[in-house]
Structure 1
Amino acid sequence: MSQAYARPTFPVATQTKYTKIGDVHIAYQVVGDGPIDLVVVPGWVTHLEVQYWEEPSIARFFERLASFARLILFDKRGTGLSDRVARNALPTLEERMQDVHAVMDAAGSKRAALFGISEGGPMCALFAATYPELTSALIMSGCYAKWIRDDDYPWAPTREDHEAACGAYERHWGTPIGFKTVAPSAANDESARNWWARNLRLGASPSDAIALLRMNIEIDIRAVLPAIGVPTLILHRAGDRLINVGNGRYMAKHIPKAKYVELEGPDHLPWFGDANAVLGEVQEFLTGVRPADEHERMLATVLFADIAGSTEKAAAMGDARWRNCLDSFHRLARQQLERLRGRLIDTAGDGVFATFDGPARAVRCGLALSREAKSAGIEVRTGVHTGEVEKMGDKLGGLAVHIGARVMALAQPGEVLVSNTVKDIVAGSGLRFEERGTQVLKGVPGEWRLFSASAA
C-alpha cells in the first residue's frame, strides 16, 4: 500500500528525438512550452530517459523547470542515447559546445538560457562567452573552472586524488559507486541508489566513463570567465562533497556582475537535498518572480492501516467475498475516524490513510480499528507517525507520510506500531508502549526506534 503514496504518477516526458552534427547523432527532448528556452547541460554521464524521468523526486525537479520554461534536455556525445565516440577521439569542450548549438537549432531555439550542472558548467560558460547573442542567461550549479589543484587553486583535488577515484569507478561501475558523495542526503534511499547505478550503466561503459572523467579532469576555463557578459547565476552548496565550494566562489569573483548564491547542504546534485531552494533561485533569476511555497506545511499525525496478508486473503476468498471484506474494513475505519475526529485522505486498495491533529487520538483510533476489525474476522496492521506534511490541494505529501507508510509495513497483524516521535509526544496519555527495536525504514534516512502501542 505504501507505494501508492511514496510513488506518485508523473507525466511521461516528450518523445526523444535526434539531431546530427557531422557523423554524430545527439539525442534530445523538449518539455513544456514556457516563454523562456532553458537548455540543461548535465555533468559526466547521463541517459535521457533514466536521468530525468525514472525517479519521481527527480522528475518533479525537471517538471518544475518546465512549468516556467521550454525545457531542452540532451545527452552529450559519447553518453546515453547519443552516439558513442572512439576513446582516441574524445570530444573537446568546443565540440560539445557545438552539440548545444545543434540541439538548439533542432529544437527551434533562437536564444536560450543555459543551466550547467557539474562538468556541464564549463561548457555552458564557454558557450555563453562565445555566443552571447544566443545566450539569454547562464546558470551554473556545483561547477568548477578548473579541477586539478594548483598553488593558486587550492580547493581542487590533486591528480592523485582523481586517479584513485578513476580506479574506484572502474572497479565498481554499475553499482551505486560515488552516490554517497554526490547525494549524501539520499545515501540510504534504495530507490535513489538504484537510479544512480542504472543511470551510470546505461549512460556509458566503464572504459568510456573513465575516459570521459579523465578528460573532464583536464578542463580549465579560468581565462574564459572575464569574457562572460551575459547575466550569470552561480549556485553552490556550502558542503558539496564532490566540487568544493571554493570553485563556485572563484567563478563568482571572476565573472563580471555574476550573482552568487551559496546554499546549505552537502549534496552535489541539485535535485537532492533542498531542491526547492535551487528551483526558487533559478525561477526568480530567469523570470523575476520567486513563487511562494506552493505547498502549505503543517504538523500532523498520519495513520496508515491495511489488511494483513491481503493478497493471500483475496485469492482465498474470491472476488465477491473479498469486495465485501474491503467494504467492511473501510466502513469500520470511517466509523472510528469519525468518532476520534480523524480526517480520511485515501482508501487506496486494501488500505486507509488518515490524519489527526493529535497523536493520542490517532493511536486510539488504530487500536479501536484493530479491535473492531478482528471481531469481524479481519486482521489489520497499523502505523502512526507525527511530523511535518505538505498539503497539496486535497492531498498530503512529505517525508512524514512516507515514514508513516514504512512504519505500517513493519507492523505485525493486529499491531499498532508507532514511531519514537509519537511515543514521546503522548507521554502521560495513559497509552502503553513496548519497544520493537531500532529499524531502517526503506527510503528514509537514519534509523528509527519503533514501539508497539496498547491501551492502558
Structure 2
Amino acid sequence: MMRRGVPKQDIFFVTAKDGARIACASSGRGPTIVRAAHWLTHISRDLDSPVWQHWLAELTGFGRLVRYDLRGCGLSSRNISEISFEAWLSDLEAVTEAIDEPFTLIGMSQGAALSIAYALRHPDKVERLVLIGGYARGLLARDTSDRARLEAATLTNLMRLGWGRDDTAFNQVFTHLFIPDGTLAQHKWWRSLEQDTASADIAARTMETLHRIDVLNLAAQLKVPTLVLHANGDARVPFAQGRELAMTIPDAKFVPLDSNNHVLLDTEPAWNVLLSSLQDFLGTSADLAVSDTDFGLTTAEEQVLTLVAKGLSNSEIAELLDKSEKTVRNQVSSLFDKVGVHTRSELIVRVLSAQTGQTP
C-alpha cells in the first residue's frame, strides 16, 4: 500500500483529576476518532516512526484523530504518584471532556480494556468501538498459578534492571514481543523509544498494573457496535484473549489477522485486511457515485476508486479488472494526486464529502 505521510498535528495538554498533565495530539479532519493510550507511544516522535507512522496516516484518513500519551510517559507528566487503571480511565475522561459529538473509540493492547470501561461508563459518547490486539484480563487476572506469578514478577524485575539500556538482552526480548517480524531499523527505533518514553520505574509500575486488569464482566454489558481484531501469532497478547473479547461483547464482529506482530507493519498482508475491516465498520466502504464528483477522473480511475472504496487491495483490484498490479498502483497514485490526499481512507472520505457537498 502506498503511503506518503500524515497531516500535521496540534499538540495540547489537559489536566487530570490529580493534577497530572496529559499530552494530547489532534490531526486530520472529519468525524472524531479517539485512540485510548497504550504502550509504547510518544506523540512528538510517532509521526516519524517506522512503526507508528502508517497507523497515523491511515487513521487520520478516517477523520480527526485524537491520541495522547500515558501518564508518566512521552510528553505527559513524568513525576507521577499514582499509576492505576482508574487513573488511566480518569485521564481518558479528561482527554474527551471537550468532545461534544459521539466518537469512535479505538483501543489497542491495554487500551482495549480502558475503552471497554469508558464505553460502559459513557454510552452517550461512544458511537463505535474498535479493539485491536486487546484483552479483558491481564496475566494475573486470568491465571493465578505459581507459573503466572513467576512470569509476571520476572518481567517486572527485568524491566527495573534493563529498561532503556542499550543492547541488553531484555530490550531485545521486549522488542520481539511487539514486532518480531520488524526490520533491524524498526527494532532499533522501538528500543530507543523505551529510553525516551518512560523511566524504568514508570515502566515497571505500569506493567504491574497491566497484569491485574480485569474488565471481562464489563465487556459483557456493552451495548455498542464493536469490532475486534487480533493477530493469530501475537506474542505480546495471546490470540485467545482477542477471541475471548469477541465472544464476551454482545454482537461483536471478530477479524483474525494472519501476523506474528502485536503492532501490525504496513509491509504485511494483515495490514490491508485490518484497513478493509475498518473501512467496512466505519462506514467508508459504501458504493461511491464517483461520476458525480469533479476531480477530473478517467473512467478507468473511477472503476479503481469504486473498488478501493469496497476495501479491495491493489492485487485484488488488478485481478478483478484484468490489469497488472503495477497499473493499478499507478492509478491509485494518480487518484491521490487528483483528489489531493495521501491515503486510501482519506481518498474515500474526500470523495464522499464531495458527493454531499460537505467539507471533510
Q: Kindly report which structure 2 residues correspond to 1:28-177, keeping only aligned pairs within 5 A, or say none.
A: 28-34=24-30, 36-50=31-45, 52-56=46-50, 58-87=52-81, 89-90=82-83, 92-106=84-98, 108-148=99-139, 158-174=148-164, 175=166, 176-177=171-172
Hey, which of these two has a bigger chunk of strand by percent? 1
- Work out whether residues 8 and 56 of structure 1, in 8 Å CA contact, stay in contact via their aligned partners in 2: no
Q: Which moved more, 1:15-24 or 1:121-130?
A: 15-24
Q: CA RMSD in A?
A: 3.1
Residue 273 of structure 2 corresponds to which residue in structure 1?
Answer: 277
CA positional deviation for 1:112: 1.2
128-137 or 58-67, larger mean C-alpha shift: 58-67
Which secondary structure does the structure 2 equivalent of 1:116 belong to? strand
C-alpha contact 1:141 1:270 (8 A) present in aligned 2: no
Instruction: Name the residue aligned to 2:353.
Output: none
Instruction: After TM superposition, give the deviation of residue 10 of structure 1 in Å.
Output: 2.6
Which protein has the bigger helix share? 2
**1:417 matched to which residue of 2?**
none
Task: Output aligned runs, 1:403-418, within 5 Å.
Answer: none
C-alpha separation in 2, matches of 1:298 and 1:254: 36
What is the distance in 2 between the residues matched to 1:13 and 1:139?
24
Alignment counterpart, residue 222 of structure 1, candidates 216, 223, 243: 216
Distance in structure 1 (CA, Å) of the matches to 2:204 and 2:327: 42
Match of 1:247 in 2: 241
Structure 1: gaps of 5 or more residues: 1-6, 300-356, 358-386, 397-456
Q: What is the TM-score of this pair, normalised by structure 1?
A: 0.59
Instruction: Quickly say closer, same or farther: Cα 1:295–1:84, change in 2 above 3 A.
Output: same
Structure 1: how far apart are the matches of 2:283 and 2:176?
A: 34
Amino acid corresponding to residue 191 of structure 2 in structure 1: A
What CA deviation, in whole Å up to 9, does each residue of 1:287-339 have, x standing for no partner? Answer: 1515444646899xxxxxxxxxxxxxxxxxxxxxxxxxxxxxxxxxxxxxxxx
Range with bigger deviation, 387-396 or 7-16: 387-396
Residue-by-residue CA offset, 1:194-251 (whole Å, 9 max, x unaligned): 2212222111001111111111111111121111111111111111111111111111
**Structure 2: distance between partners of 1:164 and 1:190:** 26
Structure 2 equivalent of residue 21 of structure 1: 16
Check the 8 A contact 2:6/2:56 in 1, yes or no. Answer: no
Distance 1:64 1:280 in 2: 11
State the alpha-carbon separation in 2 of the partners of residues 81 and 145 from structure 1. Answer: 27
Give how far 1:394 is off: 8.8
Amino acid at match of 2:150: E
TM-superposed deviation, 1:256: 0.9
CA distance in 2, matches of 1:247, 1:16: 33
Q: Secondary structure of 1:53's match?
A: helix
* Aligned residue number for residue 305 of structure 2: none
Task: Supply the distance in 2 between the matched residues of 1:392 and 1:17 (Cα, whole angstroms).
Answer: 38
User: 1:238 — aligned with what?
Assistant: 232
CA contact (8 A) 2:21 2:76 kept: yes
Q: Are the aligned partners of 2:71 and 2:78 in contact in 1 as well (CA < 8 Å)?
A: yes
